[in-house]
Amino acid sequence: MNTRQTLEFQKILEMLCEYAVSEEAKKNLIKMEPSLREVEVINRTKETTEARMIYDVQGNPPMSERKEIEMILSLAKKGGMLSPEQLTLVSQFIAASRRLKSYLTKAQCLKVDLAFYADSFTSLEDLQGILDGAIRNNQIDSSASKELKDIRRKMESVSGAMKSKLEALLRSRKECFSEGFVSLRNGHFVLPVKKEYKHQISGTVHDVSSSGATYFIEPVIAVRYSEELSALKSAEAKEEAVILYTLTSLVIESEFELMRNYETMGILDEIFAKAKLSAFMKAVPASLNTDRKIKIINGRHPLLKREDCVPLNFEFADGIRGVIITGPNTGGKTVALKTVGLLSMMAQSGLHVPCDEADLCMNDAILCDIGDGQSITENLSTFSAHITNIISILKEVTKDSLVLLDELGSGTDPAEGMGIAISILEELKKKQCLFLATTHYPQVKEYAAQSEGIMNAKMAFDRESLKPLYRLEVGEAGESCALYIAKRLGLPKHMLLIAHQNAYGTLEKERLRQNNESGFLFENSQINEGKENTENKENKENTAIKPRIEKKIESRNKEIPKKATSFHLGDSVIVYPEKKIGIVYQICNEKGDVGIQIAKKKKLINYKRIKLHVAATQMYPDDYDFSIVFDTVANRKARHKLEKGHQEGVVIRY
């Protein structure tokens, strides 16, 4: 399995490389791996945070491409002579190093350790001054030495004298020449002689025009000057070599300082690339823990446009090792899964994460099965690919791993797929790793609701617009959106009943009736109105299944953990992950849900999300009337009247 590709971490690294200046930094960043050492991750994150602070205050750091510097220094050490172009690159690198040193020195007022990298740079102003004085426009300047200056002055004098002689010949024998100027052919000064006059001008033919009408002849009177120029050019080349070797030796003398500048700039190039990416993503440093906790507040997938991304709020609370996400297709389940995994990988790589706040745990591995994984070359079906991948995950997973499973058990017979899904979750639970899975199976939701350490979550759905909201809600299982959508779009009620019975069975329908979980299917009317045969049949079925329902409810009550029954009427509790204070108005039911009143709103919340804040016995007397807390004033007045006897028109509203 390739987690980097699956979670698109490789795309994050490609984005990161765009902010690096040198090719070497880009090569290092594209190969970056999440660290397994907490100290290293903390140090990397600290560097990114400090670089971001400097970047926000002072802007873009003056980095250089460091083009060929390492190769140039290696050539010089081996005894090679550096060319004027290479010496120019060395001078430019020294100037860039000094600018970066100044940039960091200025940042030392921010009291960040990264700014003191300035002390690692050596200015090398003297070396740069010598190089700039000797080399200009990638050429050795005449001022590089007195000897070179004298040689070039003599060359100019000889060239001038020769051109004067040739121009005088042009003027005196105009009829012999096709053009009236001196030209240069193969390094020799020549005159353009017409073909018919070529024997009248003594000298050496160096070229002929393409038409053959013009001969380019170096006259005899110019040969002496040419020989003198040739000797001067040889002297010039020797002097230039002396100068280049001298400059090369000066570079070698400063090789240690140059390499240290080179390496320091490379490190800073990588660090500031992370800072620039952080600024682009509006990201923040994540807190790290080894307590196997994950908390993300308003997290965003870094590859999605910020304005199109619904923030993710997610938490592995105390005692929770697994979260099962349900919800409609295209509702954002896979994006939520990838966001948790990708942000974890980024944090362990020392990168900032795009969210308001994050507390992420160290993972020895992030293992995922996301996408259909179908392989034509290996002749694997979608289901086979999933199972092959999951078997590999189960072999590799440890208690310090994070496992991400998308559409668990899909791609095969639903009944068998559901069974396999639960068996996989049970195995992950035994491994004690953190795991996050998405599913459509209602039985898996039931398994999560009944299992210690596993919590349901759902992707919110807008029943009015019939559109997903892409918002994760932890602590509640997703509902049957397909049936609800069908009802809203006008599917007949008797067909909805048949669909529901085939999907969930009669027993499940009865349970949903009791818990009012599918009131949207049964509210306000008899579904098979006027169909007495169907009603009689249902009554018989209800009579037959009633003992089984009672038995199932009784068995569920027995399975409710001790913690679930520890909450009493009036207890003040904390509800996670929101950390809101509420009051218990209804003790735990057979599903493990406790009735909590928060800000005058009543909700059923799973006991796993609740922690005792203050017991009712510490706040109220034994005979306290809790209707004062939970009832409206109107209801209390109505109840008081009814206690005196029947009162016409008096109603208690809930």
Q: What is the pLDDT of residue 545?
A: 44
Q: Token pair 């507040």 is at which residue? A: 297
Note the pLDDT of residue 409: 82
Contacts 24+ apart (CB under 8 A), 332-335: 332/459, 332/468, 332/470, 332/471, 332/472, 333/406, 333/438, 333/459, 334/370, 334/406, 334/438, 335/301, 335/304, 335/470
Residue 55: its pLDDT value, please? 98
Q: What is the pLDDT of residue 371?
A: 75
Q: Rounded CA gap, 537 and 544, in Å?
A: 11
Please choose, from the candidates 294, 286, 393, 293, the residue with its C-alpha nearest in 3D space to the C-alpha of residue 336. Answer: 294
Residue 412 burial by CB count (10 A; 0-12/13-18/19+): exposed, middle or buried?
Answer: middle
Rounded distance between C-alpha atoms, residue 240 and residue 245, angstroms:
9
Coil/strand/helix, residue 321? coil
Q: Give the SS3 label for residue 113.
A: helix
Going along the chain from its start, the domains and CATH numbers come out as 3-124+254-281 (1.10.1420.10), 146-225 (no CATH), 287-479 (3.40.50.300), 481-559 (no CATH), 566-620 (2.30.30.140)
Q: What is the pLDDT of residue 332?
A: 83
**Residues recorded for the chain:** 654
Residue 529 is predicted with a pLDDT of 42
pLDDT of 302 reads 94
Q: What is the dihedral of CA 72, 73, 76, 80, to 10 degrees?
A: -30
User: Residue 188 and residue 179: Cα distance in Å, rounded?
Assistant: 17
DSSP 378: T
Beta strand ranges found along 246-345 (DSSP E): 287-289, 294-299, 312-316, 322-326
Instruction: Outline where DSSP puts E strands in 123-187.
Output: 135-136, 139-140, 183-185
The pLDDT of residue 526 is 39
The answer to whether the peptide bond before residue 577 is cis (omega within 30 degrees of 0) is yes
| pLDDT (0 to 100) of residue 648 | 62
Do the bridges between strand 287-289 and strand 357-361 make them parallel or antiparallel, or are there none, so unpaired? parallel
Predicted TM-score (pTM) of the model is: 0.70
**Separation CA 468–CA 332 (nearest Å):** 8
Cβ contacts of 527 within 8 Å, gap of 6 or more:
493, 494, 496, 497, 521
Q: What is the pLDDT of residue 478?
A: 67
| Contact (Cβ atoms closer than 8 angstroms) between residue 636 and residue 593 | no
User: Given the structure tokens 């493990």, which residue do they identify?
Assistant: 592
Residues 51 and 271: beta-carbon distance below 8 Å: yes
Rounded CA separation 267/278 (Å) = 17
Per-block average pLDDT, block size 10, for the chain (654 residues)?
88 97 95 95 97 97 88 93 96 96 96 96 96 94 94 91 83 82 81 85 84 86 84 94 96 96 96 98 95 93 87 86 83 88 97 96 94 48 83 95 91 83 94 92 85 88 72 74 79 86 58 47 43 46 47 51 81 83 88 86 87 82 71 63 59 49
pLDDT in the model for residue 649: 58
Which tokens go with 352?
A: 């900032």
